Amino acid sequence: MVTLTAPPVERPPTSGNRRRNKPNRRVSPLLIAFVLVPLAVEAFWVFWPAIQGVYLSFTNWDGISPPTGVGFDNYVEMAGDPVFGKALLDTVIWLVLFGGVSAVGGLGAAMFLQRERRGVGIYRAALFTPVVFSLVATSLIWQSMYQPDGLINTVLGGLGLEGWQRSWLSESDTALYAVILPALWRQIGYVMVLYLAGLKGIDPVLYEAATVDGASRWQQFTRITLPQLRSVNAVVLSVIVIDSLRSFDVVWSLTKGGPFHSSELLSTYMYATAFQSLRLGYASALAVVIFLLAFGVIVTYLVRAFQESDS
Amino acid sequence: MSIDGLSRRNFLAGLGGVGAAAILGGCATSASTGTGQAGGAVTLQSNLSAPLPKAAMESVVAAFNQKGGAQAVLNTVAAETFRTQLPSYLTSGNPPDLYTWYAGSVGRSYAKKGLLLDLSDVWSGLTDYSAATRTLSGDDAGKQIIVPITYYWWGMFYRKSNFEKWGVRPPTTWDEFLAVCEALRAKGVEPIGMGAGGTTPWVASAWFDYLNIRINGAVYHRELLAGRHRFDDPQVKAVFAKWKEVLPHFDKSATAIPFQDATTSLLQGRTGMMLIGTFFADAAPKDALDDIDFFQFPIIDPKVPIAEEGPTDGFFASAKTPRGAEVKEFLKYLATAEAQELFIKNSAGTVLPVNPKAKDSGTPLVAKGRKMLNDAAEITQFFNRDSSDALQPTADAALLQFFAQPDQVDSILATWQAAAEKVWSS
């Protein structure tokens, strides 16, 4: 964001410079090809299916017969669909919990591990390692820990907390939170790396000046670190919102949105509607809603960020 | 330089080709027509991915190929993948020729859309097959669409040695069944295991099926699944009222573990008995199998004609196959006693051959299962097989919620009906 508003460089209007700045009207065909070919490929592989998805959301389609147009029926149905309501609520909970905790946790871990100390690399690597693992493989491990006879209940039993033992994934009160945990376990490391990079980019002189002025640690954090991290925040927010809304693998491999929709997210509901119920029209409408949500949140933030940096 | 230019041009041409392919393939919603080449081996897409049935299928394909006629290639896919991909397979331009599938309602929707090969001329040679099997394998228009080769039964499985140790006998009526549950509970054993957690929530539907066919009968059950009754009818509420009587006797992790783990619990004596199909034996150690027995799901209302679940497995073929003659040759072989005996010999041996001339594995367990199905007045298949795969998730959600909130039956059934209506109307 900062670089976009860099002040124009003043140039002395010398005759020599003007001749050199004369725009070169002829653009190499190679350059055009480099722009157009990827655009064409992108259009065929991304935009075209996306547009088809929007089209399908106005149809009734079972994946076999030709789709039949139904106008806005799918969206009307969505408004009265209790499972959609539950999935939307769960997605909001997911966004707040998963997004909030991973942002705060990632920033905390980055602040904690930013200074070069002996062995700090090991800790950074340890926090980052979950990002490297496939989430499905991760889920399988967590699944065995969550089993009625799994590690978590065994440890609780060993501590004398038998009353706390649960079938974590199959009880409607705990399923959603039991699924968020493995996702967080992975996401915190990822967000930490983003913030570490951001923290490295802050000029140390700012802290020196603040220390000379007698600013406390907290003041340094709120007045220097956070404002300086604004551009990273935009990236982190986008990553978190997109990751939240497309969170699917971990939920699907742990609970499939169950039991009875208690850990249902919009993404899992969309998949189940499309490929279990074979209602691809309604599933496409769900996909459009997910897209609008992600797009809406991110655009709102970017517009605000631009406005702030313009003023 | 010229070589660079050439390769770049080729590269761009290649990209153009990719783009053109994308345009053609992009019309995902348009019906594509098959232009597969005739000749070559019959491709068999199989969902028998558990080790024993997979090996059994491999042995049958190998035996067919050795006969020197048409050739077949087996392609085994995980069952869950197979189920979600099946519509894509059948509608693609060049689909696999032959598929493992189930007899009953669950295949007919594909036939209605003209995606399945008419197998009536294969059936004209299957004079040994029973009339009931023939009806089960037909579509609504009277065409034969599936050639079944095996079937199996569901029952209340238990370990003989454990029942002896606990001093209980297999019950036949509902009251005796409740008494056995009480007795096991008193011994500190979880009376009923289930295994409707993890990836196998559908196992709970067996309880719904059986209670419904015992209380309301098989005819009502089929009509209910076809959308001709409502899930919030008083008849269905009666099913759940009965279910509530045994609910306290279910293992507390009944909805938390998949049926494979529930099988382990049963074999280790942590649970007393389990309503399950014979496929569970695929995962059981051989020595434990000799100690396993089952009893018929208890009779609740003696006035209701006895029905049993006897799911039937077989094969259907794509209407687009260019190898119709070879596919039918293979199906004719699969329907022979020889092929079915070979399949059973190489599997766990707990399935029954559909061909009446074929011998089963001959164990007392299998003889008992066969007799139970023979004595039944009606045979049902299973919840999804008697309806559709799309209706199954609505049952999973309703039944698991019933286990968690048994006092909410009315609202659960209303939700179930609403979800089912969407499936029926789509």
In this prediction, residue B17 carries a pLDDT of 44
Mark yes or no for CB contact B84/A276 under 8 Å: yes
Residue B407 distance to chain A (closest CA, Å): 15
Parallel, antiparallel, or unpaired for β B352-353 and B147-151?
Answer: antiparallel
Provide the pLDDT confidence category of residue B221 given band limits of 50, 70 and 90.
very high
Task: Write out the residues of chain A at the interface with chain B, using a CB-CB cutoff of 8 A.
Answer: 33, 37, 40-41, 44-45, 48-49, 52, 56, 60-67, 77, 82-83, 143, 147-148, 167, 169-172, 256, 258-261, 272, 275-279, 282
Mark yes or no for CB contact A52/B26 under 8 Å: yes
In this prediction, residue B192 carries a pLDDT of 93
Q: Which residues of A touch B110 (CB under 8 A)?
A: 64
Question: What's the mean pLDDT in B337-360?
Answer: 87
Residue B312 burial (CB count, 10 A): 24
Mark yes or no for CB contact B397/A61 under 8 Å: no
B230 vs B416: CA distance, rounded Å: 9
Question: What's the mean pLDDT in A31-54?
Answer: 90
pLDDT tens column, A164-189? 878 888 888 888 898 888 888 888 88
Apex CA A160: angle with CA A158 and CA A166, to 5°?
A: 85
How far is CA A235 from each of CA A191, A242, A286, rounded to the nearest angstrom? 10, 11, 26
Closest Cβ opposite residue B12 in set A37, A272, A276: A37
Provide the pLDDT confidence category of residue A23 given band limits of 50, 70 and 90.
low
In this prediction, residue A232 carries a pLDDT of 87
B245 vs B336: CA distance, rounded Å: 46
B205 touches chain A (CB under 8 A): no
pLDDT tens column, B234-257? 999 999 999 999 999 999 888 888
Instruction: List the structure tokens of A217.
Output: 């640690």
B 355-414: CB under 8 A from A: 389-390, 392-393, 396-398, 400-401, 404
What do you get for the CA distance between the two ends of chain A, in Å?
13
Examine the pLDDT at A22 and tell me if it is beyond 80: no
SS3 B346: helix
Q: Tokens 């802290």, residue?
A: A207
Q: What are phi and psi of A278, to 5 degrees?
A: 55, 35
Choose from B422, B423, B424 for mutation: most chain A CBs within 10 A: B422
Q: How many CA atoms lie within 13 A of B300 on its CB side?
A: 18
SS3 B39: coil
Choose from A84, A276, A279, A280 for mutation: most chain B CBs within 10 A: A276
Question: What's the mean pLDDT in A55-62?
Answer: 87
Q: Which residues of B touch A56 (CB under 8 A)?
A: 29
Examine the pLDDT at B3 and tell me if it is beyond 50: no
Q: Which residues of B touch A33 (CB under 8 A)?
A: 12
Burial class (CB in 10 A: 0-12, 13-18, 19+), A225: buried
Residue B256 distance to chain A (closest CA, Å): 5
H or E segment to which residue B69 belongs: none
pLDDT tens column, A67-94? 888 888 888 888 888 889 989 999 889 9
Closest Cβ opposite residue B393 in set A49, A65, A272: A272
Instruction: List the structure tokens of B355.
Output: 């061909």
- In terms of pLDDT, which residue wins out, B236 or A310? B236
Residue A101 CA to its chain's centroid (Å): 13
Report the chain B residue with the minimal C-alpha distance to residue A82: B415
Choose from A139, A143, A170, A280 for mutation: most chain B CBs within 10 A: A170
Rounded to two decimals, the pTM is 0.79
B35 vs B52: CA distance, rounded Å: 35
Mark yes or no for CB contact B390/A45 under 8 Å: no
In this prediction, residue B39 carries a pLDDT of 67
* CA trace torsion B373, B377, B378, B379 (10° rounding): 10
In this prediction, residue B6 carries a pLDDT of 43
Examine the pLDDT at B176 and tell me if it is beyond 90: yes
Q: Which domains does chain A have, with CATH numbers?
A: 81-310 (1.10.3720.10)
Mark yes or no for CB contact B26/A56 under 8 Å: no
Q: How many CA atoms lie within 13 A of B169 on its CB side?
A: 4
Residue B200 burial (CB count, 10 A): 17
Q: Which domains does chain B have, with CATH numbers?
A: 42-152+311-358 (3.40.190.10), 154-309+382-425 (3.40.190.10)
Q: What percent of chain B has pLDDT over 70?
A: 91
Amino acid letter, B2: S
Instruction: List the structure tokens of A92.
Output: 């909001």
B 297-356: CB under 8 A from A: none
Q: Name the average pLDDT for chain B.
A: 85
Q: What percent of chain A has pLDDT over 90?
A: 10
Any idea which of A139-153, B27-41, B98-112, B324-338 has the lowest mean pLDDT? B27-41
Mark yes or no for CB contact B426/A83 under 8 Å: no
